[in-house]
């Protein structure tokens, strides 16, 4: 990573970055390739990150975490990706945390946060997307009905990543029917669901195989009974609690994409300098240099937006536009760097042992999830530029 490290003097949280990079060295490409072949969960990697406190970065010190700002969490995840590892196995704990911290009750926080901080419990599952509603979140159909001291949940989620490897899930469900609320964003509630209590008692999790190793699932709720204390904040106000966490999610995914872009560009330049064809390094050809250089420039610009969005977030300022732009620009930069990397490697770009094809598959996700590029552009057009809503 030296070429790129020396050129980026403005990177923050240097000590954290160095520590994370050191940890990641224990998980080389061979580790990830083996998991990828078997669609297996990177248990040892996630455990190690947890044991070293990195997954508790955002948990306040009073609950056993390190109380770091979002910019530090971004640095951690960026370094994970930059080292060729995959933070997709555990990044959700970082971005889900904000909703629990800001809107959870004192009882919920003191019950769960210390155990999450010391790695005893995992909060890695985020149940929002449903098969029929897709991006139109407020059209979701999962219901939560109050019944005495309980809620009864019925419905289905899809793409609930890491549900099999998490103890807790942050779940969004409808508590008041859509036709009984004034605004379609009303009537939704957030639950901190303790899955240990309900697995096979109303909760069924089925893995979905995808083009990359992401441990994603579909989740079914069949008269699943949970205690009313699982509700986060007030009933019917959940959509805004989830929205408040989405900026953090976008910034952190943006940081991961920056890490990916750096990994790809480092690989590309090393190979371009090393590979000799027609008696000279392929990197001497401008046709090989330019896509790599262009992706590098895209990455540097996107990186500024990721840092800007994180700084605004940490200062408690509105960062909706910047968080969205950071995610989109960084995902585009990582995709450009990935494409250049495959092309630079020629046939070897397709060979498993180079890790390029694996990272190529992994970084493609961020054009679609957690929010697709079109929806970000629509957001900017409507909310930043004042054009009519298109949908």
328 contacts ligand FAD (rule: CB under 6 A): no
* Structure-token match 């009303």, residue found: 186
Task: Using CB under 6 A, pick the residue from 3, 110, 135, 273 that binds ligand FAD.
Answer: 135
Q: How far apart are CA 296 and CA 337, in angstroms?
A: 7
128 contacts ligand FAD (rule: CB under 6 A): yes
Q: How far apart are CA 254 and CA 334, in angstroms?
A: 9
Interacting positions 141-200 with ligand FAD (CB under 6 A)? 159-161
Q: How far apart are CA 178 and CA 173, in angstroms?
A: 11
Per residue, the 3-state secondary structure of 155-212, as one string, reads EEEECCCCHHHCCEEEEEEECCCHHHCCCCCCCEEEEEEEHHHHECCCEEEEECCCCC
* 343 closest CA partner among 292, 280, 286: 292
- The piece of 10-18, 148-156, 208-216, 327-335 that touches ligand FAD (CB under 6 A) is 208-216
- The piece of 45-53, 230-238, 340-348, 374-382 that touches ligand FAD (CB under 6 A) is 374-382
138 contacts ligand FAD (rule: CB under 6 A): no
Task: Using CB under 6 A, pick the residue from 13, 214, 250, 327 that binds ligand FAD.
Answer: 214
391 contacts ligand FAD (rule: CB under 6 A): yes
Residue (266 or 357) nearer to ligand FAD, CB: 357
Task: Using CB under 6 A, pick the residue from 54, 126, 263, 296 that binds ligand FAD.
Answer: 126
The nearest distance, CB 44 to ligand FAD, in angstroms, is: 22
Task: Using CB under 6 A, pick the residue from 369, 379, 381, 382 that binds ligand FAD.
Answer: 369
Q: Where are the alpha helices (DSSP H) in the chain?
A: 2-7, 14-24, 29-38, 43-51, 70-82, 92-103, 106-117, 195-198, 238-274, 286-314, 320-345, 356-364, 373-379
**Which stretches of the chain bind ligand FAD, using CB under 6 A?**
126-129, 134-135, 159-161, 210, 214, 216, 365, 368-372, 374-375, 378, 391
């Amino acid at each position: 990573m030296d070429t790129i490290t020396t050129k980026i003097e403005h990177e923050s949280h240097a000590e954290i970055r160095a520590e994370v990079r050191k940890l990641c060295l224990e998980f080389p490409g061979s580790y990830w390739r083996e998991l990828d072949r078997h669609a297996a969960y990177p248990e040892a990697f996630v455990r190690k990150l947890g044991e070293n406190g990195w997954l508790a970065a955002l948990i306040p010190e009073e609950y056993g975490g390190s109380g770091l700002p979002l910019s530090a969490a971004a640095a951690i995840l960026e370094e994970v990706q930059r080292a060729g590892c995959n933070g997709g196995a555990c990044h959700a704990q970082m971005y889900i945390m904000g909703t629990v911290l800001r809107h959870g009750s004192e009882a919920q926080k003191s019950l769960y946060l210390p155990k999450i901080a010391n790695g005893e419990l995992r909060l890695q599952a985020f149940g929002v997307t449903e098969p029929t509603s897709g991006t139109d979140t407020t059209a979701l159909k999962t219901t939560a009905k109050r019944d005495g001291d309980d809620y009864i949940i019925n419905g289905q989620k899809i793409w609930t990543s890491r549900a099999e490897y998490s103890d807790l899930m942050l779940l969004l469900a409808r508590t008041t029917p859509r036709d009984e609320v004034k605004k379609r964003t009303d009537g939704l509630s957030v639950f901190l669901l303790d899955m240990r209590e309900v697995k096979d008692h109303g909760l069924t999790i089925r893995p979905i195989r995808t083009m990359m190793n992401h441990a994603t699932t579909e989740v079914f709720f069949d008269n699943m009974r949970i205690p009313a204390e699982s509700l986060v904040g007030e009933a019917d106000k959940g959509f805004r609690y989830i929205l408040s966490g989405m900026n953090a999610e976008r910034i952190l995914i943006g940081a991961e994409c920056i890490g990916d872009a750096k990994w790809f560009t480092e690989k590309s330049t090393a190979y371009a300098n090393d590979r000799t064809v027609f008696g000279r390094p392929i990197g001497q050809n401008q046709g090989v240099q330019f896509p790599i250089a262009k992706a590098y420039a895209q990455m540097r610009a996107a990186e500024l937006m990721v840092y800007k969005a994180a700084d605004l977030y940490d200062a408690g300022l509105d960062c909706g536009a910047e968080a969205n732009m950071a995610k989109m620009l960084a995902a585009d930069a990582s995709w450009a760097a990935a494409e250049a990397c495959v092309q630079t490697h020629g046939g070897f770009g397709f060979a498993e042992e180079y890790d390029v094809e694996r990272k190529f598959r992994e970084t493609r996700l961020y054009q679609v999830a957690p929010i697709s590029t079109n929806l970000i552009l629509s957001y900017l057009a409507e909310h930043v530029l004042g054009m009519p809503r298109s949908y």
